[in-house]
Amino acid sequence: MKIVELVTKDLRFPTSQDRSGSDAMNPDPDYSAAYVLIKTQEGLYGHGFTFTIGRGNELCVAAIEALAPKVLGRTLEEIVQDFSGFWRKLTRDSQLRWLGPEKGVIHLATAAIINGLWDLWAKVEGKPLWKLLVDLSPEALIKTIDFRYIQDVLSPEEALELLKSRWPGRAEREQEVLKNGIPAYTTSVGWLGYSDEKIRSLCRKALQEGWEAFKLKVGASLDDDRKRCRIVREEIGHRTLMLDANQVWEVEEAIEWVQALAEFQPLWIEEPTNPDDILGHARIAQALAPIKVAAGEQIHNRIMFKQFFQAQALGYCQIDAARLGGVNEVLAVLLIAAKFGVPVCPHAGGVGLCEYVQHLSIFDFIALGGPLEQRRVEYVDHLHEHFVNPVQISHGRYLAPSAPGYSSEIKADSIERFTFPYGSFWNKEARSWKD
Ligand SMILES: [Mg+2]
């Protein structure tokens, strides 16, 4: 199955219009996807994307195009037969590597291509991605992972043993997922740009829908945060509350600020400070226990995650399917997290991230076991209507997807409307609200 064409699209959705997605660091995101269609000679397509929040999305598109020659002309069979070798070739181009390595725009582009290839593979196999992963033998799964730079904490042999040791109970866990789905939490109630009344009414609506866990954005004003936490606690009672600061604080400031909110009993504080500050996160985690520290949406590769775990800096691991270098690198992080006993609660929202990460969490639970209720997948209620196979949510849980692929295909008419800057939305409607 020869790959003959890669078509890229710069897709931007005008979420800044109603401040959906607004937080202390990002007041006006336009959720965007640098999207790639990977076409085979037979006319099949793999669909992949990375996620950005607007301006600069074109840089990711250009980086995908720079990597495209490494994919063109290869067959899907030769890629997946030695997927770790292919992954290494894609990330180790001696000139392109200078742009990262394995971070920033070039790694976001890697994610788009690699995820598109997994989508294609799953479609060819006629399985949803999570099922493709679950059905791979431990030996085959290990062969997709590049263990370079993580062997001091996890060698391929150790990873194999880990997968085999968690083998018992897989069939029961798969049945459990198919029956009940996987737990989620909602971030839709507490964007920073929302009024008190809107937060209160969204909490009530979410409770009616059966949600049990709620995340609130904090970090702009302590008085305001106290007021908003009080509103949410009043509405949700004893249910789970998480807080997310989106990197706005200094290390000591984070400790003081969260201590001032401790009375509201949050489960975790997410991204309290700069995502590269491993020791800062460790210091915050130590000072705030039993409140946990969560991070990962901007932890950009397996080597960084390795060090966060080594430093005991994370209570919850929030992998991002479009920030790590696609499924292969996510698998590496899931295995290291399992070794350190840190639950994985993926970052989602944006555009299409919910569609992606549901597969990864389902695989994580079935293959690696442990308590299901500790794994909560983020859920945000926008932009799902643009996907051919959108997520299905019921009573605060993701239902296991059944369509073949990685749920990453965007509808043709959405691509036409939201391609930037010449799609029909940006050409006409956009002018009327931006001018
Ligand atoms: Mg976050």
Say if residue 207 is in the same domain as residue 332: yes
- What stretches of 262-370 adopt beta strand conformation (E)? 268-270, 292-295, 316-317
Report how far residue 356's alpha carbon sits from residue 350's, in angstroms, rounded to the nearest whole number. Answer: 11
9 an active-site residue?
no
CA of 268 to the centre of ligand 1 (A): 11
Say if residue 44 is in the same domain as residue 113: yes
**Sorting pLDDT into bands at 50, 70 and 90, what band is 19?**
confident
> pLDDT tens, 275-333?
999 999 999 999 999 999 999 999 999 999 999 999 999 999 999 999 999 999 999 99
Say if residue 392 is in the same domain as residue 424: no
> pLDDT tens, 376-395?
999 998 899 999 999 999 99
**Averaged pLDDT, 417-432:** 84
Report how far residue 116's alpha carbon sits from residue 44's, in angstroms, rounded to the nearest whole number. Answer: 12
Which residue range is the domain that position 174 belongs to? 162-410
| CATH assignment of the domain containing 418 | 3.30.390.10
- Residue 433 confidence (pLDDT): 54
Domain count, the chain: 2
Report how far residue 240's alpha carbon sits from residue 375's, in angstroms, rounded to the nearest whole number. Answer: 13
Say if residue 198 is in the same domain as residue 133: no
217 an active-site residue?
yes
Say if residue 42 is in the same domain as residue 177: no
**Which of 103, 292, 300, 347 is flagged as catalytic?**
347
Say if residue 139 is in the same domain as residue 170: no
Q: Which two tokens stand for residue 161?
A: 């043993």
**Averaged pLDDT, 331-336:** 98
- Residue 432 confidence (pLDDT): 57
Average per-residue pLDDT for the chain: 95
Higher-pLDDT residue of 193, 147: 147
- Residue 434 confidence (pLDDT): 52
Say if residue 99 is in the same domain as residue 238: no
CA of 276 to the centre of ligand 1 (A): 15
| CATH assignment of the domain containing 374 | 3.20.20.120
Say if residue 11 is in the same domain as residue 99: yes
**Which of 9, 107, 215, 217 is flagged as catalytic?**
217
Say if residue 353 is in the same domain as residue 418: no
Say if residue 194 is in the same domain as residue 60: no
- Would you call 166 exposed, middle or buried from its count of C-beta atoms within 10 A (0-12, 13-18, 19+)? middle
CA of 41 to the centre of ligand 1 (A): 40
Report how far residue 352's alpha carbon sits from residue 148's, in angstroms, rounded to the nearest whole number. Answer: 29
Say if residue 7 is in the same domain as residue 138: yes
Say if residue 112 is in the same domain as residue 139: yes
CA of 217 to the centre of ligand 1 (A): 8
| Cβ-based neighbour number of residue 1 at 10 Å | 17
Task: Give the residue from 367, 23, 13, 427 showing the smallest Cα distance to 225.
Answer: 23
- Residue 370 confidence (pLDDT): 85
CA of 311 to the centre of ligand 1 (A): 21
Q: Which two tokens stand for residue 361?
A: 């969490």
Residues 6+ away with beta carbon under 8 Å from 264:
229, 230, 232, 233, 241
